[in-house]
A and B are shown apart, each in its own frame.
Chain A
Amino acid sequence: MDWFIDTPYFGILISIVMFEIGLYINKKTKIPVLHPLLISIGLIIGILLAFDISLETYEKGGNMISFFLGPVTVTLAVPLYKKIDLLKKHTKPILIGIIVGVFTSILSVVGLTKLFGYEDEMIYSLIPKSITTPIGIEVSESIGGIPSITVVSIIVTGIIGAIVAPFVCKIFRIEDKVAKGIAIGTSSHAVGTSKAMEMGETEGAMSGLAIGLAGLLTAVIVPILLIVLD
């Protein structure tokens, strides 16, 4: 079997097939918690463990999929460009909202992790959980977190954001499309943005904008805030 499994094709094929199954289950059951990304990651991990296939073997193909993460972030400029009028019109509320969101994220993570008695290393690893992976890794490293734990917390947060977005908008009575998009992008980066795009063009564009801004603000605020909190 090695001739098949030990190639990049294996990781790519298994990812596409499992994601397809995830989409199918999500569509059939209509249960939001059964997010396609969550299902496919769970299934792949299950298969790797069951057949004793190493992560390195999967990543031969998996890394080729991750290759697209760079270019795909660049293309987030496209929906934003299409909605430039809204951005110009609502610059102030958007900026204020993202700043408040970034502070809420950092403070709630610090508060909750302390509540559960987490060690400093884990606290620092979780602080960048809401922002895009490349900035999150940098922030985590610069304050003494563990990058691999940060990556997991970022992915899990993204999936949580995509799942809870419709409920949160309902419970908090967020009806404005710009507000919805900014809220989703600030809290759950690109994975949340995929849900925002399903909700509508404006929501998707604003969510994409929030990814970059929330990431940058977090990178600036975290080191300063940690000194203040100490």
Chain B
Amino acid sequence: MRILRQFGIIIGIFMVGEFINNILHVPIPGNIIGMVLLFIALHSKVIKLEMIEEVSEFLLKHLAFFFIAPGVALIALLDRLSSVWLSFGLILIISTILVMGITGVVVQQVIRRGEK
């Protein structure tokens, strides 16, 4: 029952996040609100880490797997993207490298400057 209970808590928090998103019409999706709620609950010890730890670990370990279905949905766009796939890929590769590199350098520089 322990694992099921952990699943229940996590899905429950997600649902509360969705509820807030629907009621308040905030542009923040329910899962992100849920993430903030869980963080607050853990920090204020309302929820203890042991109460969700195993299922959280399971879900996070398989993070990439859960994106498989939206990836396969690409099949519906094959015709539309067939003429642009090369530039489409290039744009995403160049931009991703730029964002990752520049963000990392900035964070590192600001941290190092603060430590001096």
Q: Footprint of B on A, CB under 8 Å?
A: 11, 15, 18-19, 35-37, 40-41, 44-45, 48-49, 55, 58-59, 62-63, 65-66, 68-82, 84, 90, 92-94, 96-98, 100-101, 104-105, 108-109, 112-113, 116, 118, 122, 126, 129-130, 132-135, 138, 148-149, 151-162, 164-165, 168-169, 171-176, 178-180, 182-184, 186-188, 190-194, 197, 204, 212, 215-216, 219
Prevailing SS type, chain A contact patch:
helix
Name the A residues within 8 Å of B4 (CB-CB). Answer: none
A18, A97, A116: most-surrounded residue (chain B CB, <10 A): A97
Quick one: which of A65, A94, A101 contacts B99, CB cutoff 8 A? A101
Q: Residue of A at shortest CB range from B41?
A: A77
Q: Footprint of A on B, CB under 8 Å?
A: 7, 10-11, 13-14, 17-18, 27-32, 34-39, 42-43, 49, 52-53, 55-57, 59-61, 63-77, 80-81, 84, 87-108, 110-112, 114
Beyond A108-B98, A182-B103, A182-B107, whether A45 also contacts B74 by CB under 8 A is yes
**Cα–Cα distance between A2 and B66 once the two chains are bound (Å):** 25
**Cα–Cα distance between A216 and B49 once the two chains are bound (Å):** 26
Q: Residue of B at shortest CB range from A186?
A: B103
Prevailing SS type, chain B contact patch:
helix
Quick one: which of A15, A49, A172 contacts B104, CB cutoff 8 A? A172
Name the A residues within 8 Å of B105 (CB-CB). Answer: 172-174, 179
Name the A residues within 8 Å of B31 (CB-CB). Answer: 69-71, 73-74, 132, 134
